[in-house]
Amino acid sequence: MQLSKTEEQLMQYLWKLNKAFMKDLLDSYPEPKPANTTVATLLKRMTDKGFVDYNTFGKSREYYPLIKKEDYFSKHVNGLIKNFFNDSASQFASFFTTKTDLSKSELEDLKKLIDNEIKKK
């Protein structure tokens, strides 16, 4: 299951805050801020999808993420590789290194990361 763009934006705020009440989340948004009902609807959807849960304190709810940002991003990247690069990490790496504006030093840093992973395996 995936988050919509607006849900993903809200999730970014929740990851940053770690735990948050509705007021904290609304304060995270730039002006013009969305309506309380909009954020409440997004939180309900995200809870139903299993990305968010909450603890109840009286009439207030403190929301927290059920999935780590790194895990969500990892799933996205793996989906991208599968769906757009024929499940080929090499095709993805080729695209990433040739079609982005990486400097020579950034490419060298990537090479070091890859070399280190090869040594580990």
Q: Considering Cα of 38, then 40, then 44, then 47, what sign does the dihedral take?
A: positive
Q: Which domains does the chain have, with CATH numbers?
A: 5-65 (1.10.10.10), 70-120 (no CATH)
Structure confidence by residue, pLDDT tens digits, 46-73 = 999 999 999 999 999 999 999 999 999 9
Q: What is the mean pLDDT of residues 104-111?
A: 90
What does the longest C-alpha to C-alpha distance in the chain come to? 56
- pLDDT greater than 90 at residue 75: no
- pLDDT greater than 90 at residue 121: no
Structure tokens at 16: 């940053």
Residues 79-96 as b/e (b if ≥16 CB within 10 A, e otherwise) read: eebeeebeeeeeebeeee
As a whole number of angstroms, the distance between CA 60 and CA 65 comes to 17
Q: What is the pTM of this model?
A: 0.76
Q: Lowest-pLDDT range, 19-28, 44-53, 83-92? A: 83-92
- pLDDT greater than 80 at residue 1: no
Q: Which residue's structure tokens are 């095709």? A: 91
Residues above pLDDT 70, as percent of the chain: 100
